Amino acid sequence: SAGLVGCAAIRLPAVALDPTLGPAAPPPLLGAFGQDPPISTTMEWETRRAPLLHAAFEREVYGPYPPNAAPARVLSRDEISYAPLADVARIEQWSVAVGPADAPPHFNMVVVLPRDATGPVPLVIMENFCGNRAAMADAPDEIAGPLTEVLWACDAPWAYPLIETVFGRYINGPPYEDILARGYGLAMFYAGDVVADEAVGAREGLARLYGDDAENTGAVAVWAWLYSQAYDVLAADPRVDARRVAVWGHSRNGKAALYAAARDPRIAAVIAHQSGRGGASLSRSDEGESIAEMMEAFPWWFPPAFADAPRDPAMDQHQLLALIAPRPVLLGNGARDAWSDPHGAWQAARAATPAYELYGAQGLAQEDMRTPNLEADLAYYTRPGLHGVTAQDWRVFLDFLDAHLKTR
């Protein structure tokens, strides 16, 4: 199961964290790309190169976004009383329909806004692993659980302490108080509500969105698209500052968050924690999980094309990071999380840096893999430990958001 695959990380040795190690350099970002000559201006980048790269990511890696989708619409919006946060937040549950006008799927989103806000707030959109109930300690009855099948552990509150010991205090839900205290709102949902994170349900969910064209699609592209669908409805709310909305995702959701930010220029910043293969880490890397292993364990995540070697040698994940430039990106890592390939993500960030510089922004600007330069627009951080989400992680995430979203 997915849980067991995740646990494989525990057995792997610590990563050297040597900034000179990792995969061979990918093709230079601003060099020729097929017939496309080298790039030297943002104009060339945006009008010539970026469209080619977007097409290539659809073809080679993620598949297309759902076609013919009607705009996302809020079906219901209910105020929720939740004692643990009653003093500091207003909490709502929104049901959001997406996709085709007829019989659309929907997801349930928990919106948490600072009670003392005096104007529109910056906000973090996060996708979670187990649904919203698992993400809220003693969740009120009105909070909907996941709409599709999830790992058994997600439905077993007695197991959460154990899971949080292994995968970190914040693997299920974020530190609400800390996020609110820094002035941010939060919108959280389970992307599996729309396309399940499981083989049979995922195929059904993809068929609902893509009809007869579901074959060369994958769940990660839909999960990415859902960040933008959530953005659409949140940006229409006057309590949210639409220019300061960041997306956050861990691991499989980090893959989706990066792709979402690459495709949607309205997303102001992205935090992708331990996103690994098909996320921030270069596909040509030999460390950590291989594409074949991921495609075998989770065949519904990416279209079959991603497994077909040889893939286009001109392509790699540094180009995905570059498509986000000059917007801020933070890549989180764990020193014993070899599975998600920290060296592969480091080399991708280095190789994406010329796109930031093209915009006069600062790309990766730090000497070592542990200590992030959070002021830089492309930052990389490694803490000790395994695959998971810890208190230290969230301190760094919020410091990064403060550095980039606070002063605008």
Query: Where do contacts with ligand GCU occur on this chain (CB under 6 A)?
Result: 2, 5-6, 251-252, 276-277, 289, 294, 297, 339-340
Report the residue number whose CB is nearest to ligand GCU.
251
96 vs 295, beta carbon nearer ligand GCU: 295
Q: How far is the CB of 297 from ligand GCU (least distance, A)?
A: 6
Q: How far is the CB of 167 from ligand GCU (least distance, A)?
A: 8
Q: How far is the CB of 134 from ligand GCU (least distance, A)?
A: 15
CA-closest candidate to residue 111, choices 290, 17, 241, 234: 234
Q: How far is the CB of 160 from ligand GCU (least distance, A)?
A: 16
258 vs 329, beta carbon nearer ligand GCU: 258
Q: How far is the CB of 198 from ligand GCU (least distance, A)?
A: 13
153 vs 233, beta carbon nearer ligand GCU: 153
Q: How far is the CB of 71 from ligand GCU (least distance, A)?
A: 29
Give me the residue label for tokens 């460390």: 287
Q: How far is the CB of 340 from ligand GCU (least distance, A)?
A: 6
170 vs 339, beta carbon nearer ligand GCU: 339
Q: How far is the CB of 94 from ligand GCU (least distance, A)?
A: 25
Vertex 382: Cα angle to 345 and 275 (nearest 5): 40
C-beta atoms surrounding 98 within 10 Å: 25
Partner residues linked to 383 by β-bridges: 334
The secondary structure element, H or E, covering residue 55 is helix 50-57
263 vs 277, beta carbon nearer ligand GCU: 277
Q: How far apart are CA 258 and CA 270, in angstroms?
A: 7
In a 10 Å sphere around its CB, with 0-12 CB exposed, 13-18 middle and 19+ buried, how is residue 118 labelled? exposed
CA-closest candidate to residue 384, choices 311, 323, 318, 335: 335
Peptide bond into 326 cis (omega under 30): yes
58 vs 289, beta carbon nearer ligand GCU: 289
Q: How far is the CB of 298 from ligand GCU (least distance, A)?
A: 6
Sign of CA dihedral 32, 38, 42, 47: negative
Q: How far apart are CA 7 and CA 314, in angstroms?
A: 33
Give residues with Cβ within 8 angstroms of 225, minimum separation 6.
Answer: 65, 66, 260, 263
The secondary structure element, H or E, covering residue 80 is strand 70-80
104 vs 146, beta carbon nearer ligand GCU: 146
Provide the 8-state DSSP code for 380.
E
206 vs 294, beta carbon nearer ligand GCU: 294
90 vs 273, beta carbon nearer ligand GCU: 273
Q: How far is the CB of 249 from ligand GCU (least distance, A)?
A: 9
Q: How far is the CB of 370 from ligand GCU (least distance, A)?
A: 21
Give residues with Cβ within 8 angstroms of 305, minimum separation 6.
Answer: 59, 60, 61, 63, 216
The full DSSP string for 298-345 is -TTTS-GGGGSSSPPTT--THHHHHHHTTS-EEEEEETT-GGG-HHHH
72 vs 262, beta carbon nearer ligand GCU: 262
2 vs 365, beta carbon nearer ligand GCU: 2
- Token pair, residue 1, equals 């199961």
Q: Phi and psi of 84, rounded to 5°?
A: -60, -25
